[in-house]
Every structure is written in C-alpha cells, then in structure tokens.
Amino acid sequence: MQDNVVDPGVHNRAAWDRYVQEGNEWTRPVSTEDVERARMGDWSIVLIGREPVDRSWLPTDLTGKDVLCLASGGGQQGPILAAAGARVTVFDNSPRQLGQDQTVAARDGLELRTVLGDMRDLSAFGNAAFDVVFHPVSNVFVPDLAPVWRECFRVLRPGGTLLVGFLNPDVYLFDHEALDERGELVVVHKLPYSDVTQYSAEERATKFGAAPLEYSHTLTDQIGGQLAAGFVLTRFAEAPHQSNASAPYMSNYFATLAVKPG
C-alpha cells in the first residue's frame, strides 16, 4: 500500500501551518510573563510530553551559548532559552510555526533567529556552529533518522550536547480509532509503522483528515542511530503521554542526552 507520491516534508509543512491557525497545543506561544521570569532565571521548557526538562541536562549558564532548537517552532522553547541568555536559532519545517517565534521575539524584545527547512538537512549551518541542539518530540514526522543524527553531530561543537525527545514506538501498535475514541488498546499494526505504508491516501484522508504524516522508529534507529553518528549517550528519561489512553500502562515518551566527544 506504499504511496510513493506523497512528500512528507511538503505534506507536513501544510499540516503544521494549519495547526497554527487552529491553535494546536504545540503552536501556542509562551506569554510575556513566562519570558520575564526566564530573564530572571526562573524558567522551564519541555522535551517530552508536558514534563519540564531536567535543568542539569542544559548548561548551568546559557549566556552566550549557541542553541539550535531543531524542529522546535511554535514560540515555546526558543523564546524561553533566548530570554535565559542563549543565542537561539529556531529551525522548523513550518513557516507559521516559525512565525510564532518571530511574534514572541518582536513582542518581548528578544534576539532570536528563525530558519525554515527539513530537519534532515542542516546545510544552512556550518560545522561546529552550536553548543546545544534541543530537539523535542518531532522526528516522528520524517521517515528516516540517520541524516538527522549525522547533521546534529556535524553542527555541534566538540563537547556540545544533543537533547532529544521521541515517542515510544510501541504506541503505534494500537488501532487509532479504538484508542482515541473508546480508550481501548487494540493491537493491529506491525512495527515499524507508517501512515504512508499502512493506509492509502484515501484511507488517510478519512481517518486523519489533513493531519501530519507520522512514522514510528525503532529504538535501534533512535538510540543506535545517535551512537552510530558518533554521540555518547549520558542520560535517559521517560514519561507518560499527556492524553493518550495507553499512558496508564506504558511510558509513551523517551528522552536522551548525548554528547559529541571533545
């Protein structure tokens, strides 16, 4: 049932632009109050679910640190990190998501750069350009991860850190409608899962409307892929989903902290 015509980058760009118009949770910018607290050192950002990331995963002092918020538009993490003193670049596939970051920056007097592009191609940046790459749950929207990890490794400076949030692939075992509408855990899908291979274009339109295309990834691709790119993993965390009916039974999100050897 493979749909070889669909371009996930083009499709998902339009889908996330639409989400901004609809006010999706992950497109709502932080408030001026949040920014002011961050300026005073009182801040938090999320990497997985709604759980604040452990502050020890980030540099103690962000002042002057070059941070890439990768596939992280929406006016949420980038402005907070900029208010905390970092030199922030927000990179995202959705112009409207980047527009949310630009809106916050203009509203609150923040210096923040935005760049449009696909997370698998960071050729807009030179080698060793960043101290930190912050990559919240978003690689579910691309079919292949190896180029993401290679590019993250390339753009980080020696000793730099990569923070990644990603979905537990087992979430994709279950029938979407049974899970979302009735809270039933009905196993129907073989892993790795993909909207594109599991359903025809007509079926996707019926089941998901114009939602972004999603792809599950094995832990070999997620964790093993980072190791293969040259990273050293130093921390690991997990969290339940904020709304998924499978949350009482399993961890839905995983997070890793990796270092580029110096």
Q: How confident is the model over 128-158, as pLDDT tens digits?
A: 999 999 999 999 999 999 999 999 999 999 9
User: Given this model, what pLDDT does residue 230 score?
Assistant: 98
Three-class HEC string of 193-249: CEHHHHCCHHHHHHHHCCCCCCECCCHHHHHHHHHHHCCEEEEEEEECCCCCCCCCC
- The DSSP annotation for 125-194 comes to S-TT-EEEEEE-S-GGGSS--HHHHHHHHHHEEEEEEEEEEEE-GGGGGB-HHHHHHH----B-PPSSPB
Q: Answer whether residue 35 shows pLDDT above 70.
A: yes
Helix (H, G, I), strand (E, B) or coil at 7: coil
User: Given this model, what pLDDT does residue 4 score?
Assistant: 57
Strand partners, 162: 133, 258
Using the CB atoms, write b or e for 136-156: b if 16+ within 10 Å.
Answer: bbbbbbbbebebbbbbbbbbb
User: Given this model, what pLDDT does residue 241 score?
Assistant: 85
CA distances from 215 to 185, 194, 250 (A): 19, 4, 19
User: Given this model, what pLDDT does residue 179 score?
Assistant: 85
Q: How confident is the model over 73-128, as pLDDT tens digits?
A: 999 999 999 999 999 999 999 999 999 999 999 999 999 999 999 999 999 999 99
Residue 45: which of 196, 32, 35, 128 has the closest Cα?
A: 35
Lowest mean pLDDT among 22-26, 97-101, 141-145, 241-245: 241-245
Count Cβ atoms within 10 A of the Cβ of residue 171 and give its class: 0-12 exposed, 13-18 middle, 19 or more buried. buried
Whole-angstrom Cα distance, residue 20 to residue 84?
25
Contact 86, 15 (CB under 8 A): no
Q: How confident is the model over 182-221, as pLDDT tens digits?
A: 888 899 999 999 999 999 989 999 988 999 999 999 999 9
